[in-house]
Amino acid sequence: MWALNQAYHWQLMELLGMDVFICTEDLYKEPPIGVVNTALSVMAYDYPMEK
């Protein structure tokens, strides 16, 4: 019963724009492979590219 009620509340709406910043401090504290993994993870988000 809960799932039927929740489906009514989960209506599609217009998504807002989103900016993602990947901040790094030091090359030795944050290796480049970690930054690349973070960037690839963000690029894999299921979010419209035009937003």
Name the residue type at position 37: N
Q: What is the 3-state secondary structure (H, E, C) of 18-43?
A: CCCCCCCCCCCCCCHHHHHHHHHHHH
Residue list, annotated binding site: 29-30
Rounded to whole angstroms, the Cα distance separating 12 from 18 reads 17
Residue list, annotated binding site for UDP-alpha-D-glucose: 29-30
